[in-house]
Structure 1
Amino acid sequence: MTVHPFIEAEKQGGRNVKRACELLKVSRTAFYARRTAASGPRAARDAELTEKVTKVYEASRGSYGAPRVHAALQREGDRCGHRRAAQLMRQAGLQGRHRRRAHRTTTPDPLAAARPDLVLRDFTPDPVALDARWCGDITYIPTDEGWLYLATVIDIASRRVTGWATADHLRTELASDPLRAARHRRRPNGPVIFHSDRGCQYTSR
């Protein structure tokens, strides 16, 4: 027994279709697709495919895009072209999640002089040894306007950020500005070991 007529009655009565679909455990996309089935065989087939596309999409927790949805339909024996699957997904407002490409921030300089590891891979916190060992790194943050780069300086003893800077570039000042900020903020009394990767920003003169 289909529950679509009940949802249609709710819609005609001016009530919330989304809420009705949730209560009756029916896909809202499938409901609207089935409403168009009366327009002809093509519309009926589209409604049927949309319902199947939605099930595949929801089973993937919203991660599948058109290629994977199409492949799943093919495995189930549904003859549906890739473009048609993509079109039905667009009409239903379904969009897969895209993995962002890895963005490299560490580019070694082959001509840079080798430096000894004075920290000796010991990153154990030590509250009585503040401002003796700092470490730094650069990471990136995707924004609507492009990549934003964040450089930090952390006191290993306390694990606190002592200096930081952001920029839209990876030039040397992105690494040096947090060091200046950390020195100004903490004003260490003695020498400080600074540990970083071998990225060209940190090994530059």
Structure 2
Amino acid sequence: MSGKRYPEEFKVAAVRQITEGGYAVSEVARRLDVTVDSLYAWVRKYGPDAAEHQAKTAEQAELQRLRKELKRVTEERDNLKKSRGILREAVRLRYAFIQQHQDCWPIRWLCKVLDVHPSGFYAWLKQPYSKAYQTNQRQSGLIKQSWLESGGVYGYRKVHSDLRAWGELIGINRVYKLMHQHGLKALVGYRKPRHSSGKLHVASPNTLNRQFNPVMPNQSWVTDITYIRTHEGWLYLAAVMDLFSRRIVGWSMQSRITKELVLDALLMAVWRRKPKQKVLIHSDQGSQYTSEDWMLFLKAHNLESSMSRRGNCHDNAVAESFFQLLKREKIKRKIYNDRDEAKRDIFDYIEFFYNSKRRHNSNNLLSPIDFEKQFNQSAEQCLQS
């Protein structure tokens, strides 16, 4: 549609549906309600050719960096009065430098520059790490395997039991130390809410008051945050829903749970809907929603804040219900390999299934998009009559 602007995150996800998901450009354009020309422009900018260009640029930058490094090393060889530099490092570090750059320059020439003998370098290649280091790496790998197979819920005691069952001779204290070094810990239950003695965030009143069925679009929106597990780390999803049709009108996915996460999701909702009247936006009392930037954004775009009561999740039950559907119907307790894989899967669920196809009881068994189309047609007929 003319006049619409989309954030970069939305464009990248749309391009992936074409280049990786196998969808036709016309199909993606129809489902996302964008023009075919816009999609082709996005493919040119974010598609495989763009990635290849970026890779070439990165390769040129790396080559330039390596040339500067070689120049610096050569200068240090010629001026041994310098107290620091690669020539002053331990021999094994110089061997590692040669191994890292052997594809760029001849090994014997590098050995001469770094004042080491080629025979020593080749002997180091056969066994570059000590036995203690190799044992540490092997045991760390077994610990991570046990922790991942448990779904990320095992603590060091259960991981230690797994390793002993696999025949690994290792103490429980060493398992604890290695897990701590790699940031692996047990998944524990939620703590009971504790009230802080400090100053509370400024919260808005619960204006929505569980009125989850408005009579027209762009009257009441709800927003919330959830998390998705990947082997690369947590992926946080912020979503904005129009309560009238239960349509997800804005979303954002990032590796950190910051105020930018919720602001990007709300910005997408404003861009896509372009509401003409004031919209009530309901959230919880999280720090992202009580920040000054959030309040300034609401004021600048004619949005009115509403917040759940402290510790009461039922005040935002519809948003919580959407996240439960996402995890039950799409994620199903699996762990994605990385955040990009999770982003593609979640984008496909929201834009290609939930908004356009999934039937809702509250919509008379129509999808959110079809329910809004039916409402718009009825409104036009009333105006004509």
Q: TM-score by structure 2 length?
A: 0.27
Higher relative contact order (CA 8 A, sep 6+): 1
Name the structure where helix makes up a greater proportion of residues. 2
